[in-house]
Amino acid sequence: MEFTKMNGLGNDFIVLSGYKELPDNVAELAVRWCNRFFGIGADGLVFILPSEKADVQMRIINSDGSEPEQCGNAIRCVAKYVYDRDPGKREAITVETRGAGVQQVHVTAEKGIAKAIRVDMGEPVLQGLEIPTTIDAERVIDQPIEAGGRTFTFTAVSMGNPHCVIDVEDAPSFDLAAWGPLLEQHPLFPNKANVEFVTVRSRDYADMRVWERGAGPTLACGTGACATLVALVLTGKTDRTATISLKGGDLLIEWNEADNRVYMTGPAAEVYKGKVEE
């Protein structure tokens, strides 16, 4: 089986194309291949499949074998993969996702190679039960959440997948391993949650670190950066356009007031190609 190793700001994936559907043993494959000691090593598998609604369909399998609804870094990798191999070099690409429908992507290229990818991530979901949380409220903003004997304050947002955004004193040094698992699996989140720890530096810049549902600590999370910007706007801490700085690099996020949609701009990289026996 041939694969391409790609990453979006260090959030890395084993990208596979040429399949009509997911393999029956895809969860087992993900656990084995994503293992960084005995496998290829990655945060997840990304399958590029045919679509009746868009140019391609994207399916993601986390390193633990679970399937998330959406992934912002993966969709940029998919767009780069498709664009770089497209003889027509179409700058506008549509990608069907499991949880966020068909998403519009625009590629900026240099010498025929995709460099920056802008993704229409859609409208954020803010209603508590739809995110989902167990809180029946129109918006879940600055709510207390207790875990491991400590109380945090969080804002919940769905970008096609659930996010729990928490302000902390210094996100880059925050202990993800201690608190991420407890909050990911908190009873307030029926489908678990991605957890973002954020520190605002200015009206247009914030540091964020992430514990991803099903993958653990990753260098970047595109949907998490989008959810973080939305949460910071809702709590009055940043403007509607800001740079969200992750461990792997920066993403420019805009929550457009006119259409209520969130736009993410950032890079994707192809690292190497390989084959694995199966």
244 and 271 part of one domain? no
89 and 204 part of one domain? no
Residue 62 assigned to a binding site: yes
88 and 147 part of one domain? no
Residue 123 assigned to a binding site: no
For residues 34 and 43, is the Cβ–Cβ distance under 8 A?
Answer: yes
Q: Where are the beta strands (DSSP E) in 56-112?
A: 56-62, 92-97, 101-110
Residue 35 assigned to a binding site: no
132 and 250 part of one domain? yes
157 and 138 part of one domain? yes
Is the per-residue pLDDT at 277 higher than 90? Answer: no
113 and 134 part of one domain? no
For residues 137 and 147, give the distance between their C-alpha atoms in angstroms, rounded to a whole number: 21
Is the per-residue pLDDT at 185 higher than 90? Answer: yes
Number of separate domains in the chain: 2
CATH of the domain at 97: 3.10.310.10
Residue 212 assigned to a binding site: yes
Whose CA is closest to 255, among 132, 92, 120, 143?
120
Q: What is the pLDDT of residue 237?
A: 98
115 and 13 part of one domain? yes
- Provide the domain limits for residue 232: 128-260
155 and 211 part of one domain? yes
109 and 180 part of one domain? no
Q: What is the pLDDT of residues 83-123, one digit of tens each?
A: 999 999 999 999 999 988 999 999 999 999 999 999 999 99
207 and 115 part of one domain? no
Cα–Cα distances (Å) from 170 to 56, 75, 123, 173, 176, in that order, read 39, 29, 29, 6, 12
What is the overall mean pLDDT for the chain? Answer: 97
Residue 8 assigned to a binding site: no
Residue 118 assigned to a binding site: no
User: Which residues belong to the active site?
Assistant: 71, 221
- Taking the complete model, does pTM exceed 0.85, yes or no? yes
244 and 143 part of one domain? yes
Q: What is the pLDDT of residue 278?
A: 76
Residue 222 assigned to a binding site: yes
44 and 82 part of one domain? yes
